[in-house]
Amino acid sequence: MHAVVRGRVQGVGYRSYVGGCAGRSGVAGYVRNLPDGTVEMVAEGDADDLATFLEEVWARGEPVIAVEDLTVEVSEPTGEFTGFEARFGDRKEELFKRSMLALDLMKALLKTEQEMIAEQRRTNALLEELVGAGRK
């Protein structure tokens, strides 16, 4: 099978995640990033193993990975793969992309923290008002 994955799947450890899925399901093939921001997977194995693999690569519940779409084409196996590998491109470019994503995630985390603190302050003020009203 050949699959293309869309979403937040580059720079977030998705290839390693997919490699783990392949190891658990027993399929062979590879996973690699494509220039357009998608991830390509090629996998061979038993139909049940491929079904298990495809279900798992959705990465549901993963905190940073966000698979939005998975397009799959099925074909006859070639038998060319003996294991599963995560293929990497230029290391410097990949490190830069991961650094930028880490910065974006940190900004989102700080924004969420600020929103939570503001909400806590509003809640505290309301509680103080209620407690004050109960004393009168």
Distances from the Cα of 101 to the Cαs of 24, 57, 68, in angstroms? 28, 21, 17
| pLDDT higher than 90, residue 56 | yes
User: What's residue 136's pLDDT?
Assistant: 64
**Mean pLDDT (whole number) for 15-27:** 95
Which of 8, 15, 91, 135 is the catalytic position? 15
pLDDT of residue 135 exceeding 80, the answer is no
In the annotation, is 60 catalytic?
no
- Reported as a single tens digit per residue, the pLDDT across 68-112 is 999 999 988 888 999 999 988 777 777 777 777 778 888 888 998
| 33 labelled catalytic | yes
Q: Count other Cβ atoms within 10 Å, centred on residue 107.
A: 10
* The model's pTM: 0.70
pLDDT for the residue numbered 55: 96
Residue tagged active-site, from 6, 24, 33, 91: 33
Spatial separation of the C-alpha atoms in residues 94 and 112, rounded to whole Å: 27
Burial of 15 (C-beta count, 10 Å sphere; 0-12/13-18/19+): buried
Greater pLDDT, 32 or 12: 32
